[in-house]
Structure 1
Amino acid sequence: MPAPPSLPELQRAFARALQGGEAPALHAWIAARGIDPAARLRIYRHAGYAIHVEVLATAFPALRRLLGEDSFDGLATRHAARHGNCSGNLQDYGADFADFIAAQAETAAWPWLDAVARLEWLRQQAVLAADEAPADAGALLAALANAQGTLRLRPSVRVLRSDWAVLDLWRHALLPDVATPEPAVPQAVLLWREHAQVAMRAIAPAQAAFAEALCRRAPLADALAEAQAVDAATPPEALLQPLLEHALFAA
């Protein structure tokens, strides 16, 4: 019998086997105990797939409803087999799922599905973001007076600009009385965490451009310029309105 592999070699071979790769060199070091080593690896592999599918089902409930459970579970299993989780934290798993959905031939007839997935991943980010107190009025007024300064948003704030009616599609999927929307209507969405829940509202494109720039820590003047490039008629106070209304500026 050859020399036993090192622990790192065993771990890498086991990881490859869980991802669907063949690992015949590993079989000699697996105690059969009535089960063929290859079959024992398949048990672990299928259990791993099931865990990853459940994680995706939790993170993307609207997408699962829109696709149907069987179709969603099939796509999620395929994603788990091809990509798996590159992080030790399952809460990170699914960051690339929207891109995966967009690339699948069977979803081509519904090009808005990946937009719903992107919205749901932003919801995941918002719910897991750090907490931070809102800015008080005095500090906020001082920051607004400095065009080259930055206005920080609270960590849970996220923005999505989409070519599709993504918020209406999400609501239609999960809320019982929401009528089927016309998908091909562009929509921008502001997301944040409020009382341990994710809140969302549709906002104007210029408001979304302004909030996106602030999320990137752009100076106030640059954020205003980006918003005006989208819609020069939107006044600065309208750009600030949804962020002030929900106390989304950070202290």
Structure 2
Amino acid sequence: MDLHTWQRDLQASILTSSDQIQLPLHKGSIHREREIAIYADGYFLRLAEALQTNYPALFQILGDEDFYTLARAYLAAHPSSHPSIRWFGDQLAAFLKQEHPYAAVPIFAELAAFEWALRHTIDAADALLLTLENLQAIPSQNWALLCFKLHPSLSILSLAWNAPKVWQAIMAEQAPPAPKIHTQSYLIWRKPDLTVNWRSASPAEIHALALLASGANFSVICEGLLRYDLGDTPLAAARFLHQWIEQGLISRA
């Protein structure tokens, strides 16, 4: 057996926790299966640790045993494929939403989606922020055609359960509230001072941000807001824009 084949089979044995090589790793009193199991267990535990780091509130809710059962099930369905272990768990929210028995508790998937968005803000790409001074330097007659770009750290979530409140209580080491239906959209982003921030957002604001993200100019955004009872629509759109710039949600084009 050549070295490449031996390395390939050893890797497959560790990833699948099954014996796929024809030669022992080395001579000794420990059987080959046990040697492979040691490496396989270490591999799984490192990935489970990464999953726990990405989803601390979910870990607290499930507890050690159930969380590690979840980690094994998730690893079987979604083997780690990214060079960075940081990205292990990127499909957990979808997994929890679809797989038994987790799908029976829908707040699990939404809590995972919220925690992943929080984690994303930490290492999302940086970008120069648009400032109010930049905006004021643009002639007013050009505003209608202005287009804007969302900051890379921003995530927009539409949730049906009170997952953020549950997360907030757990992180404060308080008893979490009981899961309940609470339809609300949220913005999660990294502030200019590098802290993580999140807040709720109205349907009108979410629609305006969706239009902005699609490349719509300010005039189109104003038109899109006409369906909402905002009074002076252009003024309401300008207030949204002012708030987004102040909070660091808009990057320079």
Measured against the shorter chain, the TM-score band is 0.7 to 0.9
C-alpha displacement of 1:156: 1.3
The Cα offsets for residues 159-189 of structure 1, whole Å up to 9 and x where unpaired, read as 1111222322221332245761652111111
Q: Matches of 1:238 and 1:112 in 2, distance apart?
A: 33
User: Could you say if the C-alpha distance between residues 242 and 74 of structure 1 is closer, same or farther in structure 2, counting changes exceeding 3 Å?
Assistant: farther
Given that residues 119 and 166 in structure 1 are in contact (C-alpha distance below 8 angstroms), is that contact kept between their aligned partners in structure 2?
yes
Q: Matches of 1:87 and 1:170 in 2, distance apart?
A: 27
Moved more, 137-146 or 98-107: 137-146
Matches within 5 A, 1:1-251: 4-7=1-4, 9-20=5-16, 22-24=18-20, 26-28=21-23, 30-141=25-136, 142=138, 145-177=142-174, 180=177, 183-194=180-191, 195-214=193-212, 216-221=213-218, 224=221, 228=225, 232-234=228-230, 235-240=236-241, 242-251=243-252
SS in 1 for 2:2: coil
Aligned to 2:233: none
Q: Which runs of 5+ in 1 are unaligned?
A: none
Q: Matches of 2:167 and 2:97 in 1, distance apart?
A: 17
Q: Matches of 2:61 and 2:74 in 1, distance apart?
A: 18
TM-score, normalization: structure 2?
0.83
Moved more, 155-164 or 63-72: 63-72
Q: Matches of 1:174 and 1:59 in 2, distance apart?
A: 13
Given that residues 167 and 187 in structure 1 are in contact (C-alpha distance below 8 angstroms), is that contact kept between their aligned partners in structure 2?
no
Q: Matches of 1:79 and 1:87 in 2, distance apart?
A: 15
User: Could you say if the C-alpha distance between residues 212 and 176 of structure 1 is closer, same or farther in structure 2, counting changes exceeding 3 Å?
Assistant: farther
Q: Matches of 1:181 and 1:210 in 2, distance apart?
A: 32
Given that residues 27 and 37 in structure 1 are in contact (C-alpha distance below 8 angstroms), is that contact kept between their aligned partners in structure 2?
no
C-alpha displacement of 1:149: 4.2
Q: Matches of 1:247 and 1:206 in 2, distance apart?
A: 19
RMSD: 2.8
C-alpha displacement of 1:198: 1.4
Q: Which runs of 5+ in 2 are unaligned?
A: 231-235
Q: Matches of 2:115 and 2:173 in 1, distance apart?
A: 18
